[in-house]
Amino acid sequence: DKQGRKQAVKHCSTAACMMRYLHDCIIPQHQFATVDLSIPSLLFWESYMLAQAQCAAYQVAQDNDSPNQAVLSYLAMGAVPLFNEALKQSKYPLLVSQLPAPTQEWSIICKSWSIFMQAKAAHHQALAAQQAQSWGLELAWLKDSLQQFQACQAFVQSSGDLNSMERVIDGKIQTVSTRLAQATRDNETIYGEQIPTQLPTIAPKQLVKSDMPTLPESMTKPKVPLFS
């Protein structure tokens, strides 16, 4: 549902903005005896909501009739640093000590999605190379994406908590493996292209941000005390 994904981009971005507003404007003026409103918690949720918004933006682009595979690669990679930042915050000692079970789950989700989106970015590079008839480059990207999907599969299986994601990864591994086998045969019998041993870094492109718009003081300054 493309419209639903657009709404997901909007709402997840708004949630990230709210976390940023609490971090910048509310928390410095008040002391809260709850881990939910601690700085690490707000930073985690800001990064995680941005990562979800970026994934939704990537899916919107993917739903186009003739998506640009290189652009999809950059968008997929754009979610990786956001999930990595959320992963880092989920390991903050205060959160781990106060919320041991949730933070373990958050860490697993963030790490698995980081690896998964990086693997998808590499697969889109392979598809772009295939469209350009750069057969050796396609093979290099296929091998790279397969390794990353397999690494993601191994991590998810070791965690034991993401069965639905494991099925998606299995499907991706099957798709990439099938194309890799065919492309290898074609290159050996027809094209004979050299397979690069080094691949360029995929530059992340982020379409989402948590910057708060400039609001009038009447909208940011409470008329009555909110916390006592």
Q: 61-76 pLDDT, tens per residue?
A: 999 889 999 999 999 9
Contact of 210 with 20, CB cutoff 8 Å: yes
Lowest mean pLDDT among 22-26, 57-61, 184-188: 22-26
pLDDT at residue 183 tops 70: yes
With a cut of 60, say whether residue 219 has pLDDT above it: no
pLDDT at 214 over 70: no
C-alpha separations of 28 from 21, 32, 37, 42, 64 in Å: 11, 10, 11, 13, 43
Q: How confident is the model at residue 55 (pLDDT cuts 50, 70, 90)?
A: very high
Higher-pLDDT residue of 163, 113 = 113
Q: How far is CA 18 from the centre of its chain?
A: 20
Average pLDDT of the chain, as a whole number: 92
Percent of the chain whose pLDDT exceeds 90: 79
- Cα separation, 211 vs 201, in Å, equals 27
CA-CA distances (angstroms) from residue 85 to 90, 110, 119, 200?
9, 9, 18, 23
Q: How far is CA 63 from CA 127, 142, 144, in A?
A: 16, 22, 24
pTM of the entire predicted model? 0.91
Average pLDDT score over residue span 98-120? 96
Angle between helices 80-90 and 69-78 (to 10 degrees): 10
Measured distance CA(114)–CA(108) in Å, rounded: 10
pLDDT at 93: 96
Mean pLDDT of 135-159: 96
In this prediction, residue 212 has a pLDDT band, given cuts at 50, 70 and 90, of low
Please report the pLDDT score of residue 29 as a whole number.
78
What letter does residue 36 receive in the DSSP assignment? G
pLDDT score for 217: 62
In this predicted structure, the answer to whether residue 26 has a pLDDT above a threshold of 90 is: no
| pLDDT at residue 220 tops 80 | no
Q: What percent of the chain has pLDDT over 70?
A: 93
Token pair in block for residue 175: 């798709």
The pLDDT assigned to 155 comes to 95
